[in-house]
């Protein structure tokens, strides 16, 4: 059999013609040998009908070449005709690697597209980058079991980017570090009732801090983030994926603590509820510091220590409520702190862990749970 150059792939029919010529056979002769209709042989030779495993076996026997030769020729030819000169499939695969495309479309973060070029343009617009060859710049100190900064997923980066987009629409007063201290101290007056969560966005804005709520994307396990529009415009982003009062207040103060202590520019807190359950010592120094600040703000730890010494192990509902009233917080916050200390189990006093999401999203700039913010 004559060997053709590897630079070009020829249809199997060309090789069949060579075999016929070498034997002085006609297509009708081959049809008789194979026991196939002449039309079928003609379609195979002209590349209009694929060579099946059965046909390859028959050709191999007829030409004494083995079936593999014809199967390989057929595969190589069909692959050559299925080439994607523009690399659309590869480009689309890359785009799906750098961003959670379907989730972003469903949340209206990007518009549905019909071509790779349009999708690429949408993602560049969303991330505000000129190229998607490298992941969008996002300096993040992450907290999660086994999580590293480099290990942030595209969905987590996209969530942060969406939070920053929303924050640009919020007008806030001038920011100062002293203002962070004031707002943290003032927030304690809102911790006794779930409805008071409605006062949080305005309280933060009065000190130059923007608050946005972005429902988490599937699998991200994001609780919150402290981000910056610029060096004088901090942003606290919350996911509220656990709609319970203790988790809301702990996460909020935790993120404010990142801003207060001026750690690095951006922070992303993942699965914070789980991280708290294993203790602050599992995190890095900045996370430990943020945890200490949050726990102390929620309930002065000297008061909590005294309560535990007096009551342990009989944490009745009435005693928890009495202590909560004395320190000026909702009983659910006390329950959360007792869980954090492993004084009670995570299924104890669940009825006190009321939600705040409905109250907060009614006043905060929110993306998720049916809230669609356009114009970004």
Q: Are 105 and 173 within one domain?
A: no
Question: Band of the pLDDT at 2, cuts 50, 70, 90?
Answer: low
From CA 97, how far away is CA 52, in angstroms rounded? 36
What's the per-residue H, E or C state across 173-233?
CCCCHHHHHHHHHHHHHHCCCHHHHHHHHHHHHCCCCEEEEECCCCCCCEEEEEEEEECCE
Domain count for the chain: 3
22 falls within a domain: yes
Predicted pLDDT at 84: 67
Q: Are 40 and 111 within one domain?
A: no
- What's the mean per-residue pLDDT of the chain? 87
Q: Are 265 and 324 within one domain?
A: yes
91, 97 Cβ separation under 8 angstroms:
no
255 falls within a domain: yes
- What pTM does this model have? 0.78
Q: Are 194 and 285 within one domain?
A: yes
From CA 355, how far away is CA 197, in angstroms rounded? 10
pLDDT over 70, % of the chain? 86
Q: Are 169 and 297 within one domain?
A: yes
Q: Are 73 and 162 within one domain?
A: no
Question: Band of the pLDDT at 336, cuts 50, 70, 90?
Answer: very high
Q: Are 54 and 112 within one domain?
A: no
Q: Are 118 and 17 within one domain?
A: no
Q: Higher model confidence: residue 87 or residue 191? A: 191
What is the tens place of the pLDDT at every residue in 236-257?
999 999 999 999 999 999 999 9
Residue 367: DSSP 8-state: E
Q: Are 258 and 119 within one domain?
A: no
Q: Which CATH number belongs to the domain containing residue 63 in this structure? A: 1.10.260.40
134 falls within a domain: no
Q: Are 233 and 306 within one domain?
A: yes
* Domain ranges, residue 118: 88-127
Q: Are 236 and 113 within one domain?
A: no
Predicted pLDDT at 279: 41
Residue 143 has pLDDT above 60, yes or no: no
Q: Are 319 and 194 within one domain?
A: yes
Question: Band of the pLDDT at 10, cuts 50, 70, 90?
Answer: confident
Predicted pLDDT at 95: 94
234 falls within a domain: yes
132 falls within a domain: no
Q: Report, as an integer, the average pLDDT of 60-69.
A: 93
310 falls within a domain: yes
CA atoms within 13 A on the CB side of 295: 21
225, 146 Cβ separation under 8 angstroms:
no
Residue 261 has pLDDT above 60, yes or no: yes
375 falls within a domain: no
Closest CA to 324 of 215, 246, 208: 246
What is the tens place of the pLDDT at every residue in 298-315?
999 999 999 999 999 999
229 falls within a domain: yes
329, 323 Cβ separation under 8 angstroms:
no
Residue 181 has pLDDT above 90, yes or no: yes
Predicted pLDDT at 371: 79
pLDDT over 90, % of the chain? 68
Predicted pLDDT at 375: 56
Predicted pLDDT at 85: 63
Question: Band of the pLDDT at 135, cuts 50, 70, 90?
Answer: low
Predicted pLDDT at 78: 86
Predicted pLDDT at 283: 45
Predicted pLDDT at 6: 46
């Amino acid at each position: 059999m004559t060997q053709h150059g590897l630079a070009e792939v020829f249809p199997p029919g060309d090789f069949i013609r060579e075999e016929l010529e070498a034997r002085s056979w006609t297509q009708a002769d081959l049809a008789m040998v194979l026991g196939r209709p002449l039309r079928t042989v003609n379609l195979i030779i002209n590349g209009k009908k694929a060579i099946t495993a059965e046909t390859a076996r028959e050709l191999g026997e007829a030409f004494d070449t083995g079936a593999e030769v014809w199967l390989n020729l057929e595969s190589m030819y069909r692959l050559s005709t299925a080439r994607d000169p523009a690399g659309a499939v590869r480009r689309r695969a890359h785009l799906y690697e750098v961003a959670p495309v379907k989730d972003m479309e469903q949340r209206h973060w990007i518009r549905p597209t019909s071509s790779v070029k349009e999708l690429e343009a949408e993602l560049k617009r969303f991330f505000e980058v000129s190229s998607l060859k490298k992941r969008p710049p996002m300096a993040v100190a992450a907290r999660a079991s086994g999580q590293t900064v480099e290990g942030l997923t595209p969905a987590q980066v996209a969530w942060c980017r969406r939070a920053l987009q929303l924050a640009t629409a919020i007008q806030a007063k001038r920011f100062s570090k002293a203002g962070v201290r004031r707002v943290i101290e003032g927030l304690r007056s809102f911790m006794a009732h779930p409805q008071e969560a409605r006062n949080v966005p305005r309280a933060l804005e009065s000190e130059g801090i923007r608050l946005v709520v972005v429902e988490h994307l599937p699998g991200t396990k994001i609780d919150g983030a402290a981000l910056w529009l610029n060096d004088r415009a901090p942003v606290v982003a919350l996911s509220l994926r656990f709609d319970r009062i203790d988790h809301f207040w702990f996460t909020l103060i935790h993120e404010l603590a990142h801003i207060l202590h001026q750690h690095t520019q951006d922070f992303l807190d993942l699965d914070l509820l789980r991280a708290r359950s294993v203790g602050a010592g599992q995190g890095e120094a900045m996370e430990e510091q943020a945890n200490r600040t949050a726990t102390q703000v929620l309930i002065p730890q000297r008061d909590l220590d005294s309560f535990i010494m007096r009551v342990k192990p009989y944490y009745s509902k009435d005693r928890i409520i009495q202590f909560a009233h004395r320190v000026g917080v909702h009983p659910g916050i006390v329950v959360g702190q007792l869980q954090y200390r492993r004084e009670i189990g995570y299924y104890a006093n669940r009825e006190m862990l009321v939600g705040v999401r409905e109250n907060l999203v009614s006043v905060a700039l929110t993306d998720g749970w049916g809230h669609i913010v356009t114009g970004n």
